[in-house]
């Protein structure tokens, strides 16, 4: 039976909601989201979080929970990469063909497209959710909405943790 991309996305959103209810911390939620998106959506070949290092000056993104092959980019300054662009502008970046984007930092030779969505905590960028695909233009508006939803849930959990300290 053919399963449309959209229904896989709807399914993934339901799984993410369940994960969010079950997760005891933002950290567990990030670990679970990386695993779930990588396993459930076949074009999401590398899924990971980069978080801003607290107190770092100049600011730097540090690799957190991820699923997929190890990347050489474990620390990314904000003036580098698609990751740096998303964190420094606070805007989602979707790149349909990474070969044509001069900002792109290669993680795997197989990567063809990428999406990076900032995670906000109390209105400030705290990190981001980065997804690479072996397929060109893998990230449709529906994918973008799902990834932004995941980033929002993580931001809310981080906000709750920050306000309870």
Task: Using CB under 6 A, list all residues that contact ligand SME.
Answer: 46, 71, 73, 76, 81-83, 104-105, 107, 114, 130, 132
Question: Which residue's CB is nearer to ligand SME, number 10 or number 90?
Answer: 90
Where do we find the tokens 């995941």? 150
Which letter does DSSP use for residue 74 in this model? Answer: S
The residue among 55, 106, 99 whose CA lies nearest residue 80 is: 106
CB of 4 to ligand SME, least distance (A): 27
Distance, in Å, from the CA atom of 117 to the CA atom of 122, rounded to the nearest integer, reads: 16
Q: Which residue is nearest to ligand SME (CB)?
A: 81
Question: Which residue's CB is nearer to ligand SME, number 20 or number 45?
Answer: 45
Buried/exposed 15-44: b ≥16 CB within 10 Å, e otherwise? bbeebbeebeebbebbbbbbebbbeebebb
CB of 130 to ligand SME, least distance (A): 6
CB of 50 to ligand SME, least distance (A): 7
- Encoded tokens for 159: 């906000």
Question: Which residue's CB is nearer to ligand SME, number 55 or number 102?
Answer: 102
Helices within the chain (DSSP H only): 5-22, 26-40, 81-89, 141-163
Question: Which residue's CB is nearer to ligand SME, number 114 or number 143?
Answer: 114
CB of 163 to ligand SME, least distance (A): 30
CB of 29 to ligand SME, least distance (A): 20
């Amino acid at each position: 039976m053919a399963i449309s991309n959209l229904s896989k996305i709807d399914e993934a959103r339901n799984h993410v909601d369940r994960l969010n209810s079950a997760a005891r911390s933002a950290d567990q939620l990030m670990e679970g989201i990386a695993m779930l998106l990588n396993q459930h959506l076949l074009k999401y070949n590398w899924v990971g979080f980069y978080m801003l290092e607290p107190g770092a000056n100049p600011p730097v993104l540090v690799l957190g929970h991820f699923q997929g092959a190890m990347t050489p980019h474990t620390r990314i300054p904000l003036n580098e990469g698609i990751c740096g662009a998303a964190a420094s502008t606070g805007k989602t970046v979707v790149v349909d063909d990474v070969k044509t984007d001069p900002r792109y930092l290669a993680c795997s030779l197989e990567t063809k497209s990428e999406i990076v969505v900032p995670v906000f905590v109390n209105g400030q960028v705290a990190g981001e959710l980065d997804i690479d695909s072996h397929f060109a233009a893998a990230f449709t508006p529906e994918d973008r909405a799902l990834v932004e939803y995941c980033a929002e849930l993580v931001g809310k959990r981080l906000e709750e943790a920050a306000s309870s300290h």
